[in-house]
Every structure is written in C-alpha cells, then in structure tokens.
Structure 1
C-alpha cells in the first residue's frame, strides 16, 4: 500500500507544517546521536579528545556535506516527476540514482581515507589532538557508503511526501547509537574511534530499515530491469541537480575549514569552546534544516505540477515560521546558553564555558538571516536551479574565509564568533534576487498558474 503525499493541493501552511514537523523530529534525533558522541567523548575522554573530535567538524562537513547534498539533489527530479505524475520517468531516475550512488561512494571513500592524515595536517591540527582527530574522522570516512545509502533512500521517501517514516527509523537508530557509544568507549575502551563506529553502525541500520520500508510500502518504487538500465540522459539530469548541491555544501565548508584552522591556531581551550558551542548551535538549527528540506520537496512537486502561485505562498509562510523560531531561540539561549554548554564540558572548566556561551549568543542573534539562507536556498534548488544556488555557498565561503584570514589574527575569538553570521548575511544578499529571478522564469513558463489556482489552496 502506497504512503505517498501530494503537496500540490491543499493549504500550503498546513502541508508545510505537516511535512516539516516529522522531519524536524528526525533531524533532532539525528543531532541527538551526533551530540551523544561529543558528550561521551567530552565527559569520559577529556578536553583533548573533545578538541580532537571537534577539529574534524569542518572537514566532516566538507565531505559528508557533499554526500548529503548530492543525495538531496538526486531526490529533486524524483519529486518533480511525482508532481508531473510521470511514474515511469520517476522510476528511471530512481534506478539511475542507485548506480550513481555506488560510484560516488566508492570514489569518495577511497580518496578520503587515503588522504585523511594529509587533510588534518593541512588544517594545522595540533600534535596534542592529532591522534584523536585522525582516529575519529578515519572511521567516519569509512562510513561514506552508509551515508549515501541512508540519504538516498530517505530522500526518495520524502520526495513522495512521506516525512514521517524516516523519523521512526532515526529514533530506533539513535537509541542504538547511544548504547553503542557507551559500549565501545566505556566497555571496550575503543576511545574516539568507538564514537565513530557507533555513528556508522547506527546509520547503516537506519539505511537498511529505509530500504525494507520502501520495498514494502511504495509500489510506485518497485523497479523493473529496464528501470535499472543505465541511461545517459537520466544520469546527466541527476548529476546536474546533485553535484551542484553537493558542491554548495563543500564550497561552504572550505570557508569553515579556513575558520577551523584559525581556531586551531588559538589553542585547545578555544577549540573546545567552539566545539561545544557548535554542537549546541547544530541542535538549535534543526528547525531551519527541516524548513529547507521541506521547501525543496514542496517546490519540487509544485514545479512538476506547474503551480508557481503555490511556490510563492509556501515560501512566504515558511519564512514566517523561520522568523518566529529565530526570535524564540534567542530568548531561550540568553539565560540558558551556559547550561547547554555543560552537556559537553565539565562544569569546572569555567573559562571554556564562558567562551562557548559567547559563541552561542553571537550566532543565535543572527538566526533570522540563517532562516532565509535555508528556506530560500532550498526553494531555489527545488525549482531546479541547483547551479544558481551554488553561488550562495561561494558567498558563505568568502565571508568565513575572509574572517579567518583577515580578522581572526587581529581580533581573535570575537572574530571567530562573528564568522558564520557574516556568511549568512552575505549569502542572503545573493539569494533573494536569485529566488525572484527563478520565480520570474517559471511564471513565463507557466503563465496560467495563478488563474488556475484551486479554491481549496488557501493562504492561511
């Protein structure tokens, strides 16, 4: 029995909320088991181990961000074909995504594992934390095929309008990850590598669960031999969407790597503070990530259906949600920022806690620009303009890299705290006109969209 959901009919606000909230819960659990790694490492293995794991965050984002961006891009043509109700074309895209996923995973796993040590050296990782950083990130790189497995399959499921099922799967894998963390680190004494293996194994199980669920529940995704036949047009279309989205993450991460290198030069105290602060912000940013992924699917389906009027309405409604959450997050973080940091750092480390709280306050104060970065960027991608959205990543890279190279040496830690806000503001200056340009093109392509809007597509 099919579990698909059509996002081209009905109230945009209700559909966005209905799709976003389960996805948000899934992202929270995903962050939860990522946070567990850091909590266990920080509390049981010490500040050096915490700094070592934290120092890999930007290169982790560079590599895994590319993987996840590629997978998200592969899902957009599937969503568009679903909106068109072209199910044969949909299955052909799914079949060719499998081959592309295998190829990308094999190349990236081999390259990153061979270059792992060199990458950490290029980032000026201190000798005191180099071993911990290497042990952790090498295992994460070994798990790249698992990252592709889960993200491709969950992307297919969401493209058909089902954002609830991946949540259940993530909850199960998150609980498992907690147990594996404690088992590998406390019982088997595997150190930071144990945290890496716990994450990889948990994601492997979630990927397998997605595959089993997809086979049993989605008749529309049952592939024939012809669907699995490599097709040059399908692969080129998939790569045209996926590679730019992956590059967008990676280009953004280059700025983060430059910034992490600047943080590394400040010493272990500042590295641990940024690690703790970043982990809290990653958790707080989950609603923005959910909004972005929701708008990619929502816009993708509505582009397929030719409903430009619904795209504009959906972006406006989602933006209202983003602004409201940004204000709430700031209100919460002002009194409790230090308490959140204690999840990762022993309460006696007062200097590190104060620095982590400073990082949090400055970043959360700029969450409204971050909301637009996610909502507008992913909407542009859902419209089929992944190449255009790449430039937002370029602007983020320029801002973070400029702060890292020009301002951190002069102003120190305060500049580190302002790097991401600068990146978000600069990206928005590009994204708003880019979105308006994309919508204008679609209005010329579908001039009758507004006139044919259904009465039940309310704006409330």
Structure 2
C-alpha cells in the first residue's frame, strides 16, 4: 500500500502527490484541445463553434460522473486514513455498482435528449448539423469516462496519483494521432475528431481497470464485500450525491452562460470556444491541487490529526497563491499569441474577442484557485453541502450578472466575462468566513 499523507513533511508530500494530478488533468484537456486545434485549422469556424459548444456540454455531463466518483473517493480516503481496509473494500464494491448504474442511465438520457439539448443551447442554424454529428459520436464515450474516473479516484484515494497520469498520457498521445489520421487523412470531419476522442477514452478506461485488477490485490473485492450495508451507502450517497450536485451546478451555470454566448453569434461563439480551452489549461493545475489537498485533508481527518490539517491549509493556500500569480501574469501577457494557436491570424474579430475574455479572467485566477481549495476541504471533512452552497453563490452570481451586464450596451459580451471573477470572490468570502467561525467543530468531527 502506498501514499500515506498522514505523516512526513506536509508541503513536500502535498506537492509530490499533486504534481501527477496536475499533469494528468492537463493531458485530459488535450482530448478536446486536440479536437479544437485540428478542427479549427482544417475544418473552419463552423466546425470550431460546434466542437467548442459540445465541449461545454460534455464538461457538464462528465461533471455528474466525476462528482459521484470524487465523493466516493473522499470516503475511501477517510477509511484509508483510519486503516480500515475491510470497510474500504465494501464501500468500493457498493459505490462501483451504484455509480455504474448512474453512468448507464446518463448515457441513455444523453442519446434520447440530443435534439432537445441542441435547441436549448441556442445553437446557430448553420452549426446544428455539425454539432449533432459530433455529439452523437462523443456520447459513446460516456461509459469509458466512468471507468477511468472511478478507478483513478480510487487509486488517488490511497495515495497513488502516478498511475492515472500514465494511462492519460498514453490516451492523450493516441487521441492526437487519431485526430490527425481521421480528420486530415480520412477526412471524416467532426465525426472523426469525436471518434478519436472516444477510442482514446476507452484505452484509458479499460487500461486502468486492468491495472487495478492485476496490481492492487490489497484493494480487490471478494464475495463477502458485495453486500448491502445501509450505513456505508448513506455515507457514500451523502458525499457522492452532494459532490455531484456541486459539480453539476457549477457546470450547469457554465452551460447557461454558453447559451448566452451563443446568442452573440458565430464570432463570439468561436472566440469563447478557443478561450475557454486556454482558460481551462491555465487554472486546471490549481483545480487538481485542490483535489490533492482534499485527499490530504480526508486522510488526516480519518486519522484524527486536526493540527496537521491546520498546517496543511496554510501550506496549500500559499502554494496556490504563488502558482495562480505566475499563471495570471503569463495569460494576460500572452493572450493574443495563445489565441493564435487556435484561430487563423486572419480571423481578427475572433482573436480580439478571445483576448478580451482571457485578460479579464486571467487577472483573477487566485479567486478560482482558492475556491477549488474550499471545495476540496469541505468535501474531505464530510461537509459536501457547503461546497454546494459555495457553488450556488459563485455560479448564481455569475449567471445573473452575465445576463444583466451583457444587456448594457456599453459592455455587451464583456459583461459576461466580468461576471466570472465577481462570482469567484463572493464564494471565496463565504467559504473562508464559515471556516474561521466554525473551524474547531469542523476539525473535531474526524
């Protein structure tokens, strides 16, 4: 067994555990970024708009499964911190069956509601056919997304953050290679880009499942572990469902903003599609740092080490601030050349719109960095409901202000961009204030 975060130097252990998560999620972003780069360069603005809007939708759908897996992972980490391996195996068996059933249902609903989804997103008429073609293919990858995220979160819960990175690395390289072949050589259009992503997802999902079966006998489930345990189910459901709600609300809000962005036309739609990929790359590492921080907190919460948790909070906040400050400077300074990676230099209107987005968002990345730490903390101490509250504050403000400010003629689409950091700041203030007023009772619950 590996990855005990309840002993040793806090900053060193936290960073060593977090770095593979950061690298892994950056690789995961390459699935859709590879589509966006190749589609934007070789298939044109309509295809770029279709793939970009599809990305926002898939983030929302994936967030449902990811939330369920992350909630279970927090429970696994707490049991690992307590060294209760029998309870860990039983909870693993039960959560796999429950979340697997949810993944199957989500897959069926996605196919059934495809046309309604496209209408709800206010997709321009000239983009509808391409978006439908892309989504129909990409939905076949939902089961693979479940497999990878479930076993990746299980391994991370017990301190192995390297193995998920390795499987993602293979899948990312495979995705780029297949993109080039299917789109440029075979000329399969957006369906080719989707097929490349789906095949790569299955490579990582089935690969990590096989690795778990062969290399982690200490986590392997026996027949005695496949039994109903109401107490475990209630605890897992409380963490998983509320974490799922938090992730879904967060991405549903983004999806609502996507519909508003689409109403400004193809130029803004394409600019947003490209800029969001850059944005995701920029703050994704600190999101993964928040997830690593959550595992650290959960293991120490299970072990009853309140003082180590306090020291870990200070270390994580300082590390996140340093990273976000560096990334903010880089994105603000390089916004134009970064947009040029996705958009032809002749599409100046698209580039200008994307630069405006990046310079507003990029200046305030610590707001989202701190919010990810708060999400991870409250999930780890079995208070996922607080993460939901913070998400409602953040996204509620964002959506309301996006619609209100964009209606001001002097602001227009800039009002949408401005609403985001305001939402981050409000949620941060609520989360930090709640912790300082209740920290003794929160940390005593382990």
Q: Distance in 1 between matches of 2:321 and 2:20?
A: 20
- Between 59-68 and 169-178, report the one with greater CA deviation: 59-68
- Between 181-190 and 162-171, report the one with greater CA deviation: 181-190
Deviation at 1:248, TM superposition (A): 0.8
From the superposition, tell whether residues 170 and 443 of structure 1 become closer, same or farther in structure 2 (CA, over 3 Å). closer
Deviation at 1:229, TM superposition (A): 2.6
Deviation string 1:96-155 (CA, Å, 9 cap, x unpaired) is 122012210111111111111101201211111112222222333332111111000000
Aligned partner of 1:236 among 234, 237, 241:
234
Aligned partner of 1:27 among 22, 25, 28:
25
Q: Distance in 1 between matches of 2:166 and 2:444?
A: 41
Matched residue of 2:175: which SS? Answer: helix
Is the contact made by 2:381 and 2:443 (CA closer than 8 Å) also made in structure 1? no
Deviation string 1:61-106 (CA, Å, 9 cap, x unpaired) is 2211111111111111111100000000000011112201221011
Q: How does 1:184-199 map to 2 (within 5 A)?
A: 184-199=182-197
Deviation at 1:434, TM superposition (A): 3.4
How many pairs align? 444
Is the aligned partner of 1:141 residue 2:139? Answer: yes
Q: Distance in 2 between matches of 1:182 and 1:415?
A: 37
Is the aligned partner of 1:423 residue 2:423? Answer: yes
Q: How does 1:125-136 map to 2 (within 5 A)?
A: 125-136=123-134
- Between 275-284 and 208-217, report the one with greater CA deviation: 208-217
Greater than 6 Å deviation, 4+ residue runs: none
Q: Corresponding residue for 1:315? A: 313
Q: Corresponding residue for 1:450? A: none
Q: Corresponding residue for 1:455? A: none
Is the aligned partner of 1:88 residue 2:86? Answer: yes
Q: Distance in 1 between matches of 2:143 and 2:99?
A: 8
Q: Corresponding residue for 2:118? A: 120
Q: Distance in 2 between matches of 1:259 and 1:419?
A: 10
From the superposition, tell whether residues 242 and 128 of structure 1 become closer, same or farther in structure 2 (CA, over 3 Å). same
Q: Distance in 2 between matches of 1:225 and 1:439?
A: 41
Deviation at 1:31, TM superposition (A): 1.4
Deviation string 1:147-186 (CA, Å, 9 cap, x unpaired) is 1110000000000101111111111111111111112222
Q: Distance in 2 between matches of 1:155 and 1:72?
A: 6
Q: Provide the TM-score with structure 2 as the length reference.
A: 0.96
Q: Gapped runs of 5+ residues in structure 2?
A: none
Matched residue of 2:3: which SS? Answer: coil
Note the aligned Cα RMSD (angstroms).
1.5
Q: How does 1:361-440 map to 2 (within 5 A)?
A: 361-410=359-408, 411-436=411-436, 439-440=439-440
Is the aligned partner of 1:355 residue 2:367? Answer: no
Is the aligned partner of 1:208 residue 2:206? Answer: yes
Is the contact made by 2:286 and 2:320 (CA closer than 8 Å) also made in structure 1? yes
Q: Distance in 2 between matches of 1:419 and 1:55?
A: 20
Q: Distance in 1 between matches of 2:138 and 2:314?
A: 38
Q: Distance in 2 between matches of 1:431 and 1:129?
A: 40
From the superposition, tell whether residues 443 and 257 of structure 1 become closer, same or farther in structure 2 (CA, over 3 Å). closer
Q: How does 1:441-456 map to 2 (within 5 A)?
A: 441-445=441-445
Deviation at 1:196, TM superposition (A): 1.8
Deviation at 1:269, TM superposition (A): 0.3
Q: How does 1:283-298 map to 2 (within 5 A)?
A: 283-298=281-296
Deviation string 1:241-269 (CA, Å, 9 cap, x unpaired) is 11111111111222212211111111000
Q: Distance in 2 between matches of 1:77 and 1:437?
A: 25
Q: Corresponding residue for 2:59? A: 61
